[in-house]
Structure 1
Amino acid sequence: MAGLEITLPSFVLRAANLSIMGSGQGSVTAAGIVAELPSLAQEIASGALAVDAVPVPLGQVEQVWNAPVTPGRRIVLAPMSVE
């Protein structure tokens, strides 16, 4: 989770063509997200975009909510039991 503020040295802004944009909820419209889903699914299915997902049953959300995760891995809460 991002904090409320950022400290950014001014030389970073002067030294590079830098763009800062949000990536959280509200930074893109729902329609924009839905429009990208087919191409994202295609990239994942083709193997061009690797997703290292760790499926966890939704009933275990409390156990994994603050658990450390290996960098690059993502916990995915599944609505049913995961075998």
Structure 2
Amino acid sequence: MSSDQKPALGPGWYSAPDLPGALRYWDGEEWTEEYEVKKDDPEPVTSWVIAKGILLGAVLIAFAVWVLAVLWEIAS
């Protein structure tokens, strides 16, 4: 669709005919000068990602406790 082509739909954001990868606002009669960059949908946070974070946190806490115990033994 070239920039002079008119969508058959009402006002809204549509793929910019003159700028691939962007959106351009159609006011119902003509293209405005408003552009937006298309945003990719973020990856959803899965339970596996949450579980890995919890596991990593637990391992780091256990390691910190172990280090403190070793340092306490050395200092005693």
The TM-score bracket by the shorter chain reads under 0.3
In terms of fraction of residues, the more strand-rich structure is: 2
Higher relative contact order (CA 8 A, sep 6+): 1
Larger CA Rg, structure 1 vs 2: 2
TM-score, with length taken from structure 1: 0.21
